[in-house]
Amino acid sequence: MEPALEGAVQEGRKMSKRKRSVPGSPAESLLQPVKLSREELYKEPTNEELNRLRETEILFHSSLLRLQVEELLKEIRLSEKKKDRIGVFLREVNQCIKKVPSIPETELIDQAWLPAGVRVPLHQVPYTVKGSFCFLPPAQVTVVGSYLLGTCIRPNINVDMALTMPMEILQDKDLLNQRYFRKRALYLAHLAHHLARDPLFGSVHFSYTNGCHLKPLLLLRPRGKDEHLVTVRLYPCPPPNFFRPCRLLPTKNNVRSTWYQGQSHLGDGKPEPPTPHYNTWVLQDTALESHMQLLSTVLSSAQGLKDGVTLLKVWLRQRELDKGLGGFNGFLISMLVAFLVSTRKIHTTMSGYQVLRSVLQFLVTTDLTVNGISLCLSSDPSLPALADFHQAFPVVFLDSSGLLNLCADVTASTYHQVQHEARLSMVLLDSKADDGFQLLLMTPKPMVRSFDHILHLHPLSRLQAACHRLKLCPELQDSGGDYVSAVLGPLTTLLKQGLGSRLQLLAHSRPSVPEWNISQDPPKHKDCGTLTLGLLLQPEGLTSVLELGPEADQPEAADFRQFWGPRSELRRFQDGAIREAVVWEAASLYQKRLIPHQVVTHLLALHADIPDTCVHYVGGFLDALIQGPKETSSTGEEALTEAVRCYDDLSRLLWGLEGLPLTVSAVQGAHPVLRYTEVFPPTPARPAYSFHEHLRERASLLPRPDKPCPAYVEPMTVVCHLEGSGQWPQDAEAVRRVRAAFQLRLAELLTQQHGLQCRATATHTDVLKDGFVFRIRVAYQREPQILREVHSPEGMISLRDTPASLCLERDTKQLPLLTSVLHGLQQQHPAFSGVARLAKRWVRAQLLGEGVNDESLDLVTAALFLHPEPFTPPSSPQVGFLRFLSLLSTFDWKNNPLIINLNSELKAEEQVEIRSGFLAARTRLPVMVLITPQDHKGSVWTQDGPSAQILQRLVILAAEALPILEKQLMDPRGPGDIRTVFRPPLDIYDVLIRLSPRHIPRHRQAVDCPAASFCRGLLREPQPSSLMPVLGYDPPQLYLAQLREAFGDLALFFYDQHGGEVIGVLWKPTSFQPQPFKASSTKGRMVVSQGEELVMVPNVEAILEDFAVLGEGLVQAVEARSERWTV
């Protein structure tokens, strides 16, 4: 009895402890490893618990996903309390509408009765139309749409109300020539006028139904604090069975050319063109009720289906697919669910997650542009065939009447985009990734971050001319003059054909749905924002500069010539064929990436009459930041390849070297250049002798104090492993001496056998080859092992990591491995280099380059390519950089390791293990944990930084830079100054040390390239004999090293190594606390008496002068900007 009681008491104590820790934990927002007592873990399960576990197993992917989905639904669902408030408002609206007075009958064109404060929400072009109008209150007011179904999502709750117009308003031939739509608009105008005077409403606006500008609707919002709670949308619709369905088939015409084009019919016997879209819009109004009934019978039966629809709506919204004319909106997706229920692909017992999965699976496998689907079950022969619809519409999904195409406005591009997204999401769901939910439903995918290149067509009025050029008059007549939507389809088809293999996916933004005051005219088409196209590129197709056409004598040749216009020319190829072909001018990878720009501007000018001044192509703006100082035609990939080729030559020489006591077993690169991630690639060094001091006996050049600092040449590290041998000594000091002997021998042999200029030191040999300088480090595989050995008193040899052994292992083992893996990644993804360099450039430009080392930045960039979900791997530096910023700012570095599965070597189980190990060891790990297959703990590259403060700063900067940059890139008038986000804010620093450009060797690499800089002693032409140039001599870096050594515990120093002219100094607040005297911490401090005591404080005035003393010649000025230290 007693022990049990004691156990219970202990248990209680534990419980209370945990309870106390739980509210604390979100505050510090750090996950703690879960500790459950034995009793709790092994108690008998209850029935309920077993049921829940089983349900989770069957209906969801994991318990985490289930909890996440439940949380999300809770967040976006409408609460009962709000529902009640909305219900009250709806009843009031209903009464108001019923009270609107009627007006007597007038001619349609006589709109003098309309009061001054309200305008007709429709472009009445042409104005004259027959028929008469009178206003009578609606015969019936019904609530339709997602609000009733319970699938509406927060925020922006919309309640749709259908107003059935009385029969008396309509006349026989109202179907013709937009008469019905005119009446509908006038009906709304009158309603709006009366409702606007009612104090019940906070705002009364017009808008369009799904962006269709023939069908305005009225938006009502309550007054007061509920204004943002709900929007009631009023849709007038015709009385049931008023229009005869046979008049509304997709092959029928209801807008006469004579009327629309304002000329008498020429009578040439040409049949009137069908108006399928016009007919559909009328049909949509008549079918509101029946759709509602269908959906409510299907969805009301099961909560799982409703959840599924809600999740799908979130999914669409995150991908910006649901808005505008032709968007894949919530109604469509509900109908799709209804269709899948009717075909038994979805069962009513399924969970929301399963519904989501089934719908995505269906979208992936079914191409509605080829095989349309129908909800119609009847086999009435009078109904039109699917083929008729395919002829009239790009995407076909018929409703239960078999007459109405629900996807009438959806373009093929939009549907393909939906399919593309569904495919990506299915891959993600199947991959069993831990954070699938986050990526699937919580990550927004704005256009600028999803597509490699985007282009804006601006101004939109230009598209009107394009319509005429593309001969789209019937389409214009059909869409009632909306040239933007009329031209979309043909335009995207044109570009898709032209871009061919370069393109993976072309998407277009849908014209936004405007909202305007009732006293204003509806906005013109050209004011509907801009048309933005997104291009997802195919990296394999980008390398070619040639469009190969058919052979000259074949009939297709004429089409090809017609398509490409003057760019097409006859060419003779090496295999003897004479073909039509188009060749684009592009020499470097940078230019090749931008060939789509050339294609697009050429085709648009040729076929659509859109001049290149209206095409704003956003694809290469950021590339300017990684172009060399005087380079404009390349982003440096070629120069990097050149350096890598030189390295390959050198490694061949090393392999074949004769006379070394041990043979070379491996040569591995270990420098950023050799993995294509050095921001500015090295150029062959050709130093001018007159510019330097000579050190004749060593054949080396030295900098001269009276000249500007010579050009910066950084030797590229190459690790050279020698074969193992019993002859190697087993003592660390002796190994170092033997290595030094090898370095000397290597230099000797390379000079003798290949005539290369070499310089050996104890740790490395510098080799000058073709102007590139390589730093060869001889490595002995067992050396880290020897450094690790510790002899215990009992004579046991145990291995313990020491700083020296870790450092050596990193430099000679892990770094070469990483370099070769990333080199491979570059071969797979040509954009890797650009993204990595842009990212590095940005971090360094923010003066944080020294806080975060090169390798960790490269790995974060690699993660963008290896784990791009929910995107695809970037194919342009621009989109890659945006995603880098987004990853940096949104990733929860505290609670998650970033797993970079290089070469997919990590298995799923290993990843799970790593994650749980991570939680348990969190406090001992660095703040930024990067896991690679070689490093399961994730501490090799980030052990020495970034510190928590630096990472925090980086996250904040990225979060601020991202929206600014995206806004700039999405601005159709051009991005303005793209370098804005690369300029660091300097106002946070306490002291600024200004440096003299004369002694900054990389001055020209600055973000804002200086107009003039100093001569750095380089020749244009190579010289025959060559001395070793000045290596790694960068005065600002030497200066910083001194500053950090001397004042490292008092201040932090920040500097941009690429031509920064200023060093930012931040005092450490903790070291400015007065401290009692201690012999070990007097560095740079002085003793002052404070009250009775003697305390130590930093001797700031002397330190500021030290800054100038230590950097004599380099420092221009030391500005103390804040008096923070005096407080």
* Binding residues among 712-771 for other proteins as defined by CB under 8 A: 729, 731, 733-734, 736-738, 740-741, 744, 747, 759-762
Shortest distance, position 31 Cβ to other proteins, whole Å: 6
Burial of 473 (0-12, 13-18, 19+ CB in 10 A): middle
Binds other proteins by CB under 8 A, chosen from 16, 25, 95, 613:
25
Binding of other proteins at residue 319 (CB under 8 A)? no
Binding of other proteins at residue 54 (CB under 8 A)? no
Binds other proteins by CB under 8 A, chosen from 332, 494, 1099, 1118:
1099
Binds other proteins by CB under 8 A, chosen from 593, 616, 1002, 1085:
1085
Shortest distance, position 844 Cβ to other proteins, whole Å: 22
Nearest CB to other proteins, comparing residues 15 and 67: 67
Binding mask 845-884 for other proteins (x = CB under 8 A): ----------------------------------------
Report the candidate in 442, 285, 426, 297 with the shortest Cα–Cα distance to residue 366: 426
Shortest distance, position 693 Cβ to other proteins, whole Å: 8
Interacting positions 1002-1041 with other proteins (CB under 8 A) = 1030, 1033, 1035, 1038-1039, 1041
Q: How far apart are CA 713 and CA 774, in angstroms?
A: 10
Shortest distance, position 1115 Cβ to other proteins, whole Å: 7
Q: Is cis: bond before 126, omega within 30 of 0?
A: yes
Interacting positions 788-847 with other proteins (CB under 8 A) = 795-799
Binds other proteins by CB under 8 A, chosen from 371, 753, 895, 949:
895
Q: What are 136's two structure tokens?
A: 């009578």
Nearest CB to other proteins, comparing residues 263 and 792: 792
Kindly report the backbone phi and psi dihedral angles of residue 517, in degrees, each rounded to the nearest multiple of 5, phi listed first: -70, 150
The interface region with other proteins, picked from 8-16, 296-304, 491-499, 1110-1118 by CB under 8 A, is 1110-1118
Shortest distance, position 1088 Cβ to other proteins, whole Å: 3
Pairing mode of beta strands 716-722, 1093-1098? unpaired
Nearest CB to other proteins, comparing residues 85 and 736: 736
Binds other proteins by CB under 8 A, chosen from 14, 59, 64, 1120:
64
Binds other proteins by CB under 8 A, chosen from 98, 247, 698, 983:
698
Q: How far apart are CA 447 and CA 868, in angstroms?
A: 15
Pairing mode of beta strands 991-995, 1051-1054? unpaired
What does the DSSP assignment read for 176-241? Answer: GGGHHHHHHHHHHHHHHHHHHT-TTEEEEEEEEETTEEEEEEEEEEESGGGTTTEEEEEEEEPPTT
Shortest distance, position 934 Cβ to other proteins, whole Å: 20
Within 13 Å, how many C-alpha atoms sit on residue 698's CB side?
A: 13
Binding of other proteins at residue 572 (CB under 8 A)? no
Question: What region does 1091 belong to: left with phi over 0, alpha with psi -120 to 50, or beta?
Answer: left
Nearest CB to other proteins, comparing residues 135 and 315: 315
Shortest distance, position 746 Cβ to other proteins, whole Å: 11
Binds other proteins by CB under 8 A, chosen from 400, 700, 872, 875:
700
Shortest distance, position 146 Cβ to other proteins, whole Å: 16
Burial of 28 (0-12, 13-18, 19+ CB in 10 A): exposed
Report the candidate in 50, 46, 22 with the shortest Cα–Cα distance to residue 34: 22
Say if CB 233 and CB 218 are below 8 A apart.
yes
Report the candidate in 456, 511, 508, 515 with the shortest Cα–Cα distance to residue 482: 511
Q: What are 672's two structure tokens?
A: 């950023």
Binding of other proteins at residue 1084 (CB under 8 A)? yes
Binding of other proteins at residue 696 (CB under 8 A)? no
Binding of other proteins at residue 24 (CB under 8 A)? no
Interacting positions 420-479 with other proteins (CB under 8 A) = 441-442, 444
Q: How far apart are CA 1075 and CA 362, in angstroms?
A: 70
Binds other proteins by CB under 8 A, chosen from 116, 1024, 1079, 1092:
1079
Binding of other proteins at residue 109 (CB under 8 A)? no
Binding of other proteins at residue 67 (CB under 8 A)? yes
Nearest CB to other proteins, comparing residues 444 and 974: 444
Residue 437 to residues 432, 449, 942: CA-CA distances in angstroms? 10, 19, 28
The interface region with other proteins, picked from 259-267, 379-387, 651-659, 1077-1085 by CB under 8 A, is 1077-1085
Shortest distance, position 64 Cβ to other proteins, whole Å: 4
Shortest distance, position 223 Cβ to other proteins, whole Å: 26
Nearest CB to other proteins, comparing residues 26 and 659: 26
Say if CB 1089 and CB 1097 are below 8 A apart.
no
Binding mask 1034-1073 for other proteins (x = CB under 8 A): -x--xx-xx--xxxx-----------------------x-
Q: What are 197's two structure tokens?
A: 């005077």
Residue 734 gets which letter from DSSP?
H
Report the candidate in 594, 612, 602, 597 with the shortest Cα–Cα distance to residue 457: 612
Count residues contacting other proteins (CB under 8 A)?
Answer: 105
Helix (H) or strand (E) holding 105: strand 103-107
Burial of 595 (0-12, 13-18, 19+ CB in 10 A): buried
Say if CB 323 and CB 510 are below 8 A apart.
yes
Shortest distance, position 1023 Cβ to other proteins, whole Å: 21
Q: How far apart are CA 1016 and CA 1002, in angstroms?
A: 9
Interacting positions 607-646 with other proteins (CB under 8 A) = none
Shortest distance, position 1100 Cβ to other proteins, whole Å: 6
